[in-house]
Amino acid sequence: MGRGHDGSERRGRMGYAEQRTELIASGLRGPKLRGALAEAADTWLAELLANALDAAGLPAAEGELGHARGVALVAVGGYGRAELSPGSDLDVLLLHDGSHKSDRIAKLADAIWYPVWDSKVKLDHSVRTIAEARSMAKDDLPVALGLLTARHVVGDPALTASLRTSALSDWRAGAAKRLPEVQATRAERLEMHGELAYRLEGDLKEAIGGLRDGYALTAISASWLADIPHGEPEAARVRLLDVRDALHITTGRAADRLLLQEQDEVAAQLGLTGGADDLLAEVADAARTIAYACDVAWRRIEQVLTQRKWSGRRRGAAAQRTPLADGVVAAEGEATLALAADPARDPVLLLRAAAAAASAGLPLAPAALRRLGEDGAPVPTPWPRAAREEFVRLLGAGPGLIPVWEALDRTSLLSRLLPEWERTRSLPQRNALHIHTVDRHSVQTAVQAAKRTRRVARPDLLLVAAVCHDLGKGLHDESGEPLDHSEAGAQIVAGLAPRLGFNAADSAVLAALVRHHLLLAQLAVNRDPDDPATLNALLAAAEVPGGSVDAAEFVALLHALTEADSEATGPAVWSRWREALLSGLADRARARLAGHAPVTAPAFDGSALAARAAASPDRLAVLALAPSAAGVARLDVALPDQIGVLATVAGVLSLRHVRILAAEVETIESVEPAGATGSTVATGSTVATESTGPIGDASPWAVQRWTVAAEYGELPDVARLRTDLRAALGGRLDLAARVASREAEHRPVGRARLAQPPSVAVIEDASAVATVVEIRAGDTPGLLHRVASAIAASGADIATARIATLGAEAIDVFYLTGPDGARLPTDDAEHVADQIRSALGA
């Protein structure tokens, strides 16, 4: 042992920790490194056992180093598979036959374990007889699984062979009970760790599709109850092990979670020139291969166990086959081909089988997929109507679409139907907003679109646009700059749609939906809904030259697509507040197209609130309306107008954990004298206490209307907000310092270097009455306070602000005017933008 490569004689005299360091430094990688580490550990443990036999007073047998009758060191788990990563534990069983006195075995164990501990090598150890190991395995699933890959290291080989035979025999005898336990742990891992393919920072071992699933395939195979897929799953598991090795080398410690800040260096270790994006794509593809193999294997196990359960009750009965579609039947929980089906003569059979399976909520049988792949006739170009209709039926199947689409993708049948899909397979989205890769997100968008098909006149266009809307992602121009994925995707779909059998008019609509799939959300969330330019931009996009639908129907299709896309993206994007904004703008567009005046919210008139503030001793009024069903509330504030008051209120709201969604500002030049007034509070609202008395004030007043929600729990009490505002306005509260302190507390650890720098842009033609400045930056508690302070310092006035927070990203849009109430001159607008950039450190 330990003599198979250069330098091994010297390594034989070294401890495992030193040998491990030398092997890593040698440049060995992949299976060769893991095998060399296991060999080094074997050699070291053999020497330790030889020395320990003397210390324990046990005789060593002649010949092999460390050989002793009735005693063996056995590698189990990953060490047993000879798959030691640089940070792996040594999982070792000291096995004995019970013929030696217990105190001798205890001394032997100590003489082995203590040198391991002293060397700082992590050790998972146990001392057992074969009977004890079998008994422990019956009650402890991880022990049973570890014994399935038990490997002799040194000592009595007959003892290890007997253990392996017994452990495998016990596993097969109890497989009907033990395999469901393994499957149950998989469900727990899914709940806790999710799917590795779709995690931005996945756990390489525990997440679904990870190494733990790869080991489960070994356990299924060892049961002899069902065959498992071979070849690709093993290669995928090896690739994940390579990634874990690189992660261990990068971090210098045992780690399974692939954190963002380590991905570029891990990619470099693996020689991936595309950096983290290539790494995540490889991990996703390997994970999906393993997960799909597991899904197939577990279905086979369930079928076998079900057959065993019912075999006595229906002995001799043929498996029931229920027709699903022409040439497609349901049998044993799967959709498969009918006996008379002929894939070679039926080019639509693949789509028909997929649609039938998805509609029935059944997986496609692997045997059916093989037949369709080997014998299936290609779909003619352009697709006939029957093929297009089955494709739409597949997309409209709802959640049943996901496993069927994945099966088509894993077996390369999907790329035959849609070659354009190949480039987006497992394409990562290094964006915390997205919970899926590009391809899976597109499928999830189709699932969400299927819930909205009854809202539109052309559900087929909605579903096809949903699954194709991100086909343009990941493309770059000749200089390497990323292309606008909406425009690139529109060009792809313009060529794809005719091949799918859509006519020119429908193809134009599909391309327009893909081109504008972000527009409605951008306008509804980031633009002033009452500015005519906002509605005009949507209506301009709704006119599709040569399209098969009118503008009103296009708006309906775009509305449904936008909702589906948002909901499929993840909880950071989809909310009842966002849904209300989308619906509000879409409704106004439809009203305009129908010849009706768009429904708008009542005009913001702050005169009454300004009068309350003028009547108050502290010249301040705060009115809070109770949150709506969507958890959104309105907060109105009136106070004397001066530079920076919006920044002041924003800072106080931040300190009180209030999430700002939008802000409107009105300046009241003066308040007319009035008689004595008392505060009258409407139902569901709270008004801060104001004194009564005559009012007469010619000073300008700032009235702010904030749309807010609580970051967590409930909104703060109005009296508390009022107290903080008084302190901030009076100079008794160092707002800038407090906000900066809160930002420091919430600064993400370890990810700062991955964050994109803030961007500040003046958006031309977004409004005819104001200058629009858009800020995109990482969301921090005091972001709005800093931006508003910078705008105040520049001398511009904020007329309206639209605040959107998408996960960790803030997209804030400000409508600015000059002292004369008009748009800012170009130079002044750029000056404001520069002031904001400086404040954000951009």
Tokens 């799918």 belong to residue = 500
SS (H, E, C) 190-226: HHHHCEHHHCCCCECCCCECCHHHHHHHHHHHHHCCC
Residue 759 belongs to what H/E stretch? strand 759-763
**Which segments within 688-738 are labelled E, that is strand?**
695-697, 701-710
Q: Which residue has the higher pLDDT, 624 or 551?
A: 551
Q: Which residue has the higher pLDDT, 67 or 651?
A: 651
**Is pLDDT above 60 for 75?**
yes
Q: Indicate the pLDDT class of residue 765, thresholds 50, 70 and 90.
A: confident
Instruction: Give the tens place of pLDDT for each residue, 394-421.
Output: 999 999 999 999 999 999 999 999 999 9
**Is pLDDT above 50 for 630?**
yes
Integer Cα distance of 761 and 319 in angstroms: 66
Angle at 746 (CA atoms; ends 744, 752), nearest 5 degrees:
80
Tell me what pLDDT residue 100 has: 87
Q: Give the lowest-confidence range in 263-277, 300-314, 747-761.
A: 747-761
Continuous H helices in 119-174: 130-139, 141-147, 157-173
Integer Cα distance of 465 and 449 in angstroms: 9
Integer Cα distance of 269 and 529 in angstroms: 50
Segment 84-100 shows an average pLDDT of: 93
Asked whether the beta carbons of 623 and 687 are under 8 A apart, the reply is: yes
Instruction: Give the tens place of pLDDT for each residue, 144-159.
Output: 999 999 999 999 999 9
Segment 320-326 shows an average pLDDT of: 91
* Alpha-carbon torsion (404, 405, 406, 410), positive or negative: positive
- Tell me, what DSSP letter sits at residue 805? E
Q: Give the lowest-confidence range in 322-331, 554-563, 601-610.
A: 601-610
Q: Give the lowest-confidence range in 496-510, 728-742, 802-816.
A: 802-816
Instruction: Give the tens place of pLDDT for each residue, 452-481.
Output: 999 999 999 999 999 999 999 989 888 888
Segment 341-363 shows an average pLDDT of: 96
Please provide the average confidence, as pLDDT, over all residues in the chain: 88
Structure tokens, 365: 């049988």
Q: Indicate the pLDDT class of residue 713, thresholds 50, 70 and 90.
A: confident
3-class SS of residue 57: coil
Integer Cα distance of 283 and 277 in angstroms: 10
Tell me what pLDDT residue 20 has: 94
Continuous H helices in 469-518: 485-499, 504-515
**Is pLDDT above 80 for 56?**
no
Q: Indicate the pLDDT class of residue 752, thresholds 50, 70 and 90.
A: very low
CA distances from 155 to 59, 61, 378, 716 (A): 12, 9, 60, 70
**Is pLDDT above 60 for 590?**
yes
Integer Cα distance of 219 and 235 in angstroms: 17
Q: Indicate the pLDDT class of residue 679, thresholds 50, 70 and 90.
A: very low
Integer Cα distance of 85 and 70 in angstroms: 30
Q: What pTM was estimated for this model as a whole?
A: 0.84
Q: Which residue has the higher pLDDT, 717 or 373?
A: 373
